[in-house]
Chain A
Amino acid sequence: MRRWEKLSKEYGSKGLHFISAYTQFHTLEVVEDSVKKLGLTLPVAMDGYWDTRFQAKILCEIWVIGVDGKIIYADENGWEEAALEELKKVKYPGLGRSAVKPELEPAAKAFCSGDWAKAVQLAEAVSEGDHSDEVLADAEAIMDRVRERRKLLENRAETAEVCGDFALAQACWSELAQRIGDVVDERSPTAEVKRIAARKDFAAEAKARREFMDARLRADIAFEAAGSTPSKAKDSLAQAIKLMEDFVSANKDRLCATAANDLIRTWKSWQDEADKKDEPKKSK
């Protein structure tokens, strides 16, 4: 992971991006300590990638996803060379296209340097001039890209806030504040960051989200430790339900209590099924 941090610093602004998923059975505290010791600043998914087609033969496996969105390499070795070779195709990081007409070069460069407001300004100036249809189409494409990014970040921020993920909501608004700043007749990203920070439930929701994730991980650890022994599997299920019930009882008013109750219901239905299977044996 340290190599990733180095590569991110060197190539992050050139269009190389890093996502990782932690997929071992450890408590959240263990993972957080590990991330801290490694000095890792890149995003680490704690869920969402267990039940996927990313199937690692061993840890750590790396997949390289190329400019067209397809996997171009998958292995524990050789990924760096493959990624850096693919990176040569990226001329305008983040813009989602590999070429623009020379008239739009300054606008494209402004976008890639993170100054979206300037990119729009430059593209608008070109679009108002007397140019070919191809040039005008490129100008429109750059302005569309900024509009699309703004919409994506606003939607993501709103969804995150509704789910109680205030850190992500703030990250999205901060990104917008940095890239485009305040625009007349649009929501102010700077004001949104401040509004979220001032929420009375900010700290409580963050704490609850962390505790919920930890309870889920502890339940997974119990399931994994139970292995295939039927009595142990049943015990692990009871243990998981207890973990989640304790969480809900301490976090009744928090947003993630709903998801925790859903898990409890699912696990209890498994328990009922197991009990039903056991009944005929008992009556014999």
Chain B
Amino acid sequence: MTRLLLLLLLCVCGAMAAQEPYTVGDTPVDHSVDYWLNPSPYTQFSDFRGDVVLFKKWGCT
């Protein structure tokens, strides 16, 4: 059951503990997204090399 809980926690929160958070100076990698609201042809960080990108994590509350 402990393993199940761990797997569920990974599913919900992601494997955050296994990864160091991005800090200033890091180069973020592109991510695969299956579902976009307001889909755009350009949604990968590498699409914007030479320009500036703002990335935000947000929620309703």
A91 to B, closest residue via Cβ: B50
B contact residues, total (Cβ < 8 Å): 55
Could you say which of B28, B38, B46 contacts A44, with CB atoms under 8 Å apart?
B38
Complexed CA–CA distance, A93 and B53 (Å): 12
Complexed CA–CA distance, A272 and B33 (Å): 29
Would A26 and B59 count as touching, CB distance under 8 A? yes
**A30 surroundings in chain B (CB, below 8 A):** 60
Complexed CA–CA distance, A7 and B61 (Å): 22
Would B57 and A209 count as touching, CB distance under 8 A? no
Would A19 and B53 count as touching, CB distance under 8 A? yes
Tell me, rounded to whole Å, the shortest Cβ–Cβ distance linking B50 to chain A: 4
- Give 12 A-B pairs besides A24-B61, A60-B59, A175-B41 with Cβ atoms closer than 8 angstroms: A17-B42, A18-B54, A19-B55, A21-B56, A22-B37, A46-B35, A48-B33, A50-B13, A53-B19, A53-B26, A94-B50, A95-B50
A contact residues, total (Cβ < 8 Å): 96
**A65 surroundings in chain B (CB, below 8 A):** 28, 45, 48, 52-55
B39 to A, closest residue via Cβ: A168
Would A165 and B20 count as touching, CB distance under 8 A? no
**A22 surroundings in chain B (CB, below 8 A):** 37, 58-59
Could you say which of B8, B13, B24, B33 contacts A237, with CB atoms under 8 Å apart?
B8
Task: Please list the residues of chain A having a beta carbon within 8 angstroms of any beta carbon in chain B.
Answer: 1, 4, 7, 15-26, 30-32, 34-35, 40-56, 59-74, 79, 83, 86-87, 90, 92-98, 152-153, 156, 163, 165, 167-168, 171-172, 174-175, 209, 212-213, 220, 223-224, 226, 228, 230, 233-234, 236-237, 259, 270-271, 273-274, 277-278
Could you say which of A51, A69, A74 contacts B27, with CB atoms under 8 Å apart?
A69
B2 to A, closest residue via Cβ: A277
Tell me, rounded to whole Å, the shortest Cβ–Cβ distance linking B13 to chain A: 7
**A40 surroundings in chain B (CB, below 8 A):** 37-38
Tell me, rounded to whole Å, the shortest Cβ–Cβ distance linking B55 to chain A: 5
B25 to A, closest residue via Cβ: A70
Complexed CA–CA distance, A54 and B60 (Å): 19
Would B52 and A97 count as touching, CB distance under 8 A? no
